[in-house]
Structure 1
């Protein structure tokens, strides 16, 4: 029997916020662990959600207290969009060991940990996928808990660090440069991923498993960029892959870059194919949302008549 209290690490990123939202709306009491609570007061808007300050993972006692009375822990530290809260790759190994030890001391019973497709012990231990594989092994070895490692593919949605950047660029100019354009991906809506993780808490069939989680539509990153352009009704847009050197340069420039479609996380997360033969609907018993529908929510242009329909709907009038 598991309780209703959950501690979440890495909650301030793009993926983490969706997971916390799903946990809170499902009725769990959520404790979000952060280093700088003053920067994340918006979490107070989530029901049954509180912040816990952990200034350093080296603070063994505070780390243990962050999981006090929580039999369930979500580890989302692998999310590379957590900004100032992000753990450097060089520190991932040490943090993983300290997390494992603290989980065992706190007698945590259930661990759900974020990873990414491609994490493998055969990879260079100093590179992203090698570091991630070692981190996964630490979570997989928590002696007091039933654990599940979720190796995600490409997760998309409004405010992501891929398709949302494509939209931003295409709104400026009909030229879209994409990083790692030849990599194959199976995009999945981040909300579907969060729902899948939360629904797995009490699913005993997933205990002890490392699961690859991705959508159903296979395409290259370049083809994904072309799909975004088509949904935006920019038929004349030119979509082309950018070489790695130029992509790194544009990512380093950030908001000063003349090309706004490149983010540094793309250089890491899309450097390799992120595909799987695992069927999402079979594992989680839910059908992932249509890719076109997801992207249209934040990319499809609103014509004047559609705007008027929105106004009528908000006013409680018949749209016709």
Structure 2
């Protein structure tokens, strides 16, 4: 524990993939944490990440400013991690990434709190043809309009236990004889370990990052979509055909998946995102608004994915013993 004991941080979206790592990082720093979510009863699993009473789930709905104000009241800092990868019902990109972020920032400003960290994404662009990317940019603008000193964090593709990339394609490889290379698989990514991103967010809460700055976080390696799928197959010891899929065909498949009453394997907006590379900009590197610029050596993909992708191997965790 550090000297942060007694200080309160409200974390919106703290029960998600990135959220649990952020909560752990803040707990390790000694903060008291309110995890603001729609269903506090489903966030109890976070409490063992801290000491007794240190982590408290609290109800908040971004469409209800009063509940957001209640969650923020008395806090020393606010973190907004709310985000979705596809739209369902009332959970839209604009509603959560833009308008939801706007409500959080405005209520934070009203409460007299000047420290806020907003999660965004590399590729956020107000003019992007992707609804995801444009809504992220609108969210950034709304937050900075209400709180000019807020810190924006833009990670590339996140990886780690329970991620939505390596796990998805490893699971697909267990059943399918091929994996799709959308657009030929040439899209470039700079995957960032979720724990490293959480560490940066904790530094922002502590006041160690530049106020009003936008940080772009990418791992030590730039890999193409094709290379990432090849790494996945190598790690799970499976041979599958990597099948090039033209963007138009992938978009048609996305339209079909969106009509199904389940989590879509692919959406049209995700296909649109794949038409642009997802790497740290040269400007961010020059201005030291990166992992390396703030003194963090990010973990490589190879150092982390073996710890959770073993479950997709034909023989599970014991396959190595059988091969010996």
- The normalised TM-score by structure 2 is 0.80
Q: Is the 8 A contact 2:169 2:232 kept in 1?
A: yes
Structure 2 counterpart of 1:229, from 207, 228, 233: 233
How far apart are the structure 2 equivalents of 1:178 and 1:284?
35
Distance 1:174 1:252 in 2: 24
Cα offset, 1:263, TM superposition: 4.6
Cα offset, 1:218, TM superposition: 1.2
Q: Structure 1's 292 and 248: CA in aligned 2 closer, same or farther, altered over 3 A?
A: farther
Tell me by how many angstroms 1:85 deviates: 11
Farther-moved stretch of structure 1 (3-12 vs 88-97): 88-97
Which residue in 1 is equivalent to 2:55?
Answer: 49
Counterpart position of 2:256: 249
Match of 1:193 among 173, 193, 197: 197
SS for the counterpart of 1:11 is: coil
The Cα of 1:87 is off from its aligned counterpart by 4.0
Is residue 2:110 matched to residue 1:105? yes
Q: Distance in 2 between matches of 1:12 and 1:271?
A: 30
Match of 2:78 in 1: 73
What's 1:23 paired with? 26
Deviation at 1:293, TM superposition (A): 2.0
Q: 1:74 to 1:85 in 2, by over 3 A?
A: farther
240-249 or 41-50, which deviates more: 240-249
- Contact 2:220 2:299 survives alignment (8 Å): no
Measured after TM superposition, the shift of residue 116 of structure 1 is 0.7
Distance 1:60 1:229 in 2: 46
Trace 1:206-225 onto structure 2 (pairs within 5 A).
206-225=210-229
Distance 2:207 2:90 in 1: 29
Take 1:271 and 1:36, find their aligned partners in 2: how far apart are those partners? 35
Which position in structure 1 is the counterpart of 2:306? 296
Task: State which of 171, 178, 186 in structure 2 corresponds to 1:168.
Answer: 171
In the comparison of the two structures, how many residue pairs are matched?
Answer: 300
1:162 Cα deviation after fit: 1.1
Instruction: Report the counterpart of residue 292 of structure 2 in structure 1.
Output: 282
Superposition deviation, residue 210 in structure 1: 1.0
What secondary structure does 1:108 align onto?
coil
For residues 29 and 250 of structure 1, the distance between their equivalents in structure 2, rounded to whole angstroms, comes to 41
Q: Deviations over 1:31-63 (max 9, x none)?
A: 011122223222233321101112x33433332
SS state at 1:206 partner: coil
* Counterpart position of 1:315: none
Q: Residue 254 of structure 1: CA displacement? A: 7.4
Where does residue 240 of structure 1 map in the other structure? 243
Offset at 1:110? 0.6
Equivalence map 1:37-186=2 (5 Å): 37-47=40-50, 48-54=54-60, 56-77=61-82, 79-80=83-84, 87-92=91-96, 93-123=98-128, 127-143=131-147, 146-179=149-182, 181-186=185-190
Whether the 8 Å contact between 2:12 and 2:37 is mirrored in structure 1 is yes
Q: CA deviation at 1:224?
A: 0.6
TM-score (normalised: structure 1): 0.81
CA 1:176–1:137 in 2, change beyond 3 Å: closer, same or farther? Answer: same
CA offset at residue 272 of structure 1? Answer: 2.6
Q: Do the aligned residues in 2 keep the contact of 1:63 with 1:102 (CA within 8 Å)? A: yes
Which 10-residue stretch deviates more, 36-45 or 84-93?
84-93
What per-residue deviation string (whole Å, max 9, x for no partner) do you get for residues 70-124 of structure 1? 12100112x2169989842242443233222211111112111100111123336
8 Å Cα contact 2:221-2:300 kept in structure 1: no
Decide whether aligned partners of structure 1 residues 58 and 200 sit closer, same or farther in structure 2, where only a CA change above 3 A counts.
Answer: closer
Unaligned runs of 5+ in 1: 310-320
RMSD, matched Cα = 3.2
Q: Would you say the 8 A contact 1:192–1:288 is kept in 2?
A: yes
